[in-house]
Structure 1
Amino acid sequence: MFGLETLDVLIGLMTVYFTFGIACTAIVEAISAWTYIRSKNLEMALKELFSGELAPNEQFITQFYAHPLIQSLSKGKNGLPSYIPPEIVGQVVESLVVGKSVMATLCAGVNSLPGTAENNRIKGILETVVMQTENDATQFRQAVAKQFDAVMDRASGWYKRKTQTITLIVAALLVLSGNVDSINIATVLASNPATREKMVNIAQQTLTKAEDQAKEANNKTTNVSVKQATDQVTDATAQYDSAVSALQATGLSFGWKGLPQNVWEYLAKAAGLLVTIFAVSLGGQFWFDTLQRVMQIRSTGPKPSDPDRPARKKK
């Protein structure tokens, strides 16, 4: 089997990975919202950046979160925001510093912070910023925002490492419960032209639907609440069930109907499941982008004949 047939097998596998990847991504996002991973991650990053005191026995980070601009982004009275625009961070820091100075200047405000740069970290940071920006308020806010962005780049790495383990666990549960064996799926696709053709059609339909949903998502906030995450899981579950039913209608089979009979079958099954777990853990967006590119490559080649249509007799 060469050429277009091989490409169609890959498209079929990618469609399966995409279907399960969407469900995996939605569940991980929900877990992140339910456990407040994003807000806790942001708090940890800010504590590192704003370590120190604004006044004697008054932590800078505590007053930062108590500021009205930050409170307006928080969830509830005691909630913490999971995202803060960098420009807001600059404005709040300026407000806190200037508010502590009788002269109402940045330089005086920073100098009024307790302790020294050695024992009060935030004072040392802000002294450097004031010196570099020459006490200019606009440049000061921009410099603080830039420093915040640098810290958040590191925090993004922390968040990815935290969710990576969760993603693998969710992917494993989805794959193992559904017995989604990549080797078995590839074998079925390779030996059944009708299944391949149906899978290609499903891939195109799935991509079109996902593109429409992506356009709607672009108009929504990235700050996902617990309720929004729950709604997303509900929607993803319905789409997942519908997609799995469509995949099964092509001739693919999911679920456990029996166990392997010998060592080699066990090894093959384990390999097939592990490949799927890794693939699904890459997420729906990865397979959406990959499937789009592969479908574009396929569209440039000759279209295969309809396997359900009888061959035309030669005269």
Structure 2
Amino acid sequence: MFGLETLDVLIGLMTVYFMFGIACTAIVEAISAWASIRSQNLETALKELFSGDLAPGQPFITKFFEHPLIQSLSKGENGRPSYIPPDLVARVVEALIVGRAATATLAAGVQLLPDTVDKNRIKGILETLVTQTGNDAARFRYAVAKQFDAVMDRASGWYKRRMQTTTLIVAAVLVLSGNIDSINLSTLLASNPDTRAKLVAIAHEKVTNELALRDKAKGDSVQQAEEKVKIAETKYDSAVSELQSAGFTLGWKEYPHDFIGWLTKVAGLLVTIFAVSLGGPFWFDILQRVMQVRSTGPKPSPVGK
């Protein structure tokens, strides 16, 4: 029985991490949508790739975003897409180059790109690709798409690092505002069978229902951003109400009275912040596996009997 009680304490902690983790994930996604972080990241990557001019006084990146095929992916005349397929990037680059050459060949179009004092980086890149592909249009488009993929791999790293910082900040705000101390939670779960049983029931419900609730809002439009904010609010309110119904007291109603107490409190809060920052999907997968392990063991007695 001791083993099952210990497992239920772990399930209880994982359930808390999961509920606040999905709230944290939803809030971060809402922030990303409102701030257009993905589209900004894409634009930054393209500016690095397309550094230089298509014509004197005409930055290559500006003409790229003004192309009708790219405009069709953007919201509004000055909007920026959050994702562009690599093959579309290649077709637009080819159209911009060939459109500058009377002979309508890739090599001629690249040669017409201006030379600048600081060197036109995009001209150097395209000259290399034209040479490597033997001035073949299909091979050229493939090479441009591969180069774009390489740049976006780096951009994905920038995006992840940026969002990791945002996630830690959001997790810290959630945990500190609710005083969600892992050490205190463990003590309460270990000493209170009713609370353990309620959280195990909540965990079972979450594992059963969460898959149907995933990925309901995607994209970066204002309407989708508003939907993500609503989802974030719903998930946070749900986490708070379910924990309170299980017997947890959230908030700062009592404070430690000595150094050891504060040290324990800080340690418990830091553990929770790190756990919540891992996100809802991480804890869903772990919780799902642990619940499967628990289901193979003896069933606990009903609460209150």
Q: TM-score range by the shorter chain?
A: over 0.9
User: Counterpart in 2 of 1:153?
Assistant: 153
Is 1:197 the equivalent of 2:193? no
- Give yes or no for contact 1:198–1:250 (8 Å, CA) kept in 2: yes
Task: Quote the Cα distance in structure 2 between the aligned partners of 1:136 and 1:295.
Answer: 57
**Which of 269, 272, 290 does residue 273 from structure 1 map onto?**
269
The percentage of counterpart residues that share the same residue type is 68
For structure 2, the 5+ residue unaligned runs are: none
1:230 shift after superposition:
2.2
Partner of 1:168: 168
Structure 2 residue aligned with 1:292, among 276, 285, 288? 288
Displacement, 1:161? 1.6
How many residues align? The count is 305
Does 1:240 pair with 2:226?
A: no
Answer yes or no: is 1:231 the counterpart of 2:241: no
> Residue in 2 aligned with 1:209?
209
Contact 1:101 / 1:112 at 8 angstroms: preserved in 2?
Answer: yes
8 Å CA contact retained: 2:256, 2:265: yes
CA distance in 1, matches of 2:138, 2:300: 62
Residue 132 of structure 1, CA deviation: 2.2
1:152 Cα offset (Å): 0.8
2:25 is aligned to 25
Matches within 5 A, 1:84-123: 84-115=84-115, 119-123=119-123
One-letter identity of the residue aligned with 2:267 = A
Residue 68 (str. 1) matches residue 68 (str. 2)? yes
Cα drift, residue 36 of structure 1: 2.2
Which TM-score applies when normalising by structure 1? 0.91
Structure 1 distance, partners of 2:290, 2:117, is 56
Which residue in the other structure is 2:250 paired with? 254
- Matched with 1:126 is 126
Is the 2:18–2:280 Cα contact (8 Å) retained in structure 1?
yes
Partner of 2:52: 52
Contact 2:36 2:220 in 1 (8 A): no
CA displacement at 1:2 relative to structure 2: 4.4
Deviation at 1:45, TM superposition (A): 0.5
Question: Runs in 1 of length 4+ with deviation above 4 angstroms?
Answer: none
CA deviations 1:134-172 (Å, max 9, x no partner) are: 222222222211111111111111112222222211111
What is the distance in 2 between the residues matched to 1:224 and 1:282? Answer: 23
Mapped contact 2:179–2:250 kept (Cα < 8 A) = yes
Aligned partner of residue 51 in structure 1, secondary structure: coil
1:48 and 1:149 map into 2 onto residues whose CA distance is 13
Structure 1 residue 115, shift from structure 2 partner: 2.0
- Alpha-carbon distance in structure 2 between the residues aligned to 1:229 and 1:16: 26
AA in 2 matched with 1:32? S
Give 1:165's aligned amino acid.
T
Q: Measure the CA separation in 2 of the matches of 1:168 and 1:98.
A: 47
SS in 1 for 2:54: strand
Tell me, yes or no, if the aligned pair for 2:22 and 2:235 is still in contact at 8 Å. Answer: no
Kept after mapping to 2: 8 A contact 1:116/1:124: no
- Give 1:44 deviation, angstroms: 0.9
